[in-house]
Amino acid sequence: MTTPAPQPETTSPRPLWRRLMRVVVVTLVWVALFEGAAWGADALWGFRAKLLQGLSLVEPSQDPIPPLEKLPWPQDVVMVRAPDPTTARPEPYVLGMQPIPNAYMNPSQTLAISKMVATDPRKQLFVLGGSAAFGYTVAYKQSAAGMLERSLSKSHLVFNVAQVGWPSGHMVSVARRIARDFKPAVLVIMSGNNEWLRWVPNDQPWLSPEQLETYRTLAHSRALAGALFLGMNQAVLRPKAPAPAADANGGPRGAPGDPARPGAAGRGSADGPADPQGPFRMHASLYGYRYALKHAADRDAPYETARWLQEKQRFLDAFAAHLREMVTLGEDKGARVILLTVPFNHRLNIAWKHPQPEAPAPDTRAEVKALLKTAVPLVDAGSCPAALVDLDAAVALDPTSPLVHYLRGHCLAKLDRKLEAEAAYAQAREHMVGNLGSRLSVNRVIRRVAKETGAELVDVQALFTKHERDRGGFFNEHLIYDDCHPNALGQRLIAMAVDNLLKGR
Given a contact cutoff of 8 angstroms between Cβ atoms, the answer to whether 337 and 189 are in contact is: yes
- Which pLDDT belongs to residue 263? 37
Give the pLDDT confidence score for residue 13 in this predicted structure: 64
**pLDDT per residue as tens digits for the range 385-396:** 999 999 999 999
**pLDDT recorded at residue 265:** 41
Contact 222, 35 (CB under 8 A): yes
CA 450 to chain CA centroid, Å, is 24
| pLDDT for residue 488 | 96
The rounded average pLDDT for each run of 10 residues, N- to C-terminus, in the chain (505 residues) is 62 72 83 83 74 73 92 91 86 85 82 88 97 96 97 97 96 97 97 95 71 80 81 56 41 35 42 68 93 93 93 97 98 98 98 96 96 97 97 98 98 97 98 97 98 98 97 96 96 98 88
- pLDDT score, position 228: 78
Q: In this predicted structure, what is the pLDDT of residue 456?
A: 98
Task: Burial-class residue 377 by CB neighbours within 10 Å (0-12, 13-18, 19+).
Answer: exposed
So what's the pLDDT on residue 28? 82
Name the helix (H) or strand (E) containing 158: strand 156-160
Q: Which residues pair with 79 in a beta bridge?
A: 111
Question: Across-strand partners of 441?
Answer: none
Task: Give the phi and the psi of residue 287 in degrees, each rounded to 5.
Answer: -125, 170
- Report CA-CA distances (Å) from 4 to 1, 7, 166, 370: 10, 9, 87, 105
Residues whose CB falls within 8 Å of the CB of residue 486, separated by 6 or more in sequence, listed in order: 132, 138, 144, 343, 460, 464, 479, 480, 493, 494
Contact yes or no for 476/422 (Cβ under 8 A): no
* HSE-up of residue 198 (Cα within 13 Å, Cβ side): 21
Element at 31 (helix H, strand E) = helix 16-45
What is the domain partition of the chain in residue ranges?
77-202+315-347+440-502, 247-306+348-431
**CB count in 10 Å sphere of residue 145:** 26
Supply the pLDDT for residue 260.
Answer: 33
Strands 77-82 and 108-113 come out as antiparallel
Residue 186, CA distances (Å) to 52, 81, 126, 150 in order: 31, 17, 6, 16
Report which of 267, 296, 485 is spatially closest to residue 401, judged by C-alpha positions: 296
The CATH number of the structural domain formed by 247-306+348-431 is 1.25.40
- Domain 77-202+315-347+440-502, CATH 3.40.50.1110 — does that match? yes
Residue 100 is which amino acid? I
* d(C-alpha 464, C-alpha 472), whole Å: 12
Q: What is the pLDDT of residue 137?
A: 93
Q: Output the pLDDT for position 256.
A: 36
pTM (2 d.p.): 0.85
Burial of 467 (0-12, 13-18, 19+ CB in 10 A): middle
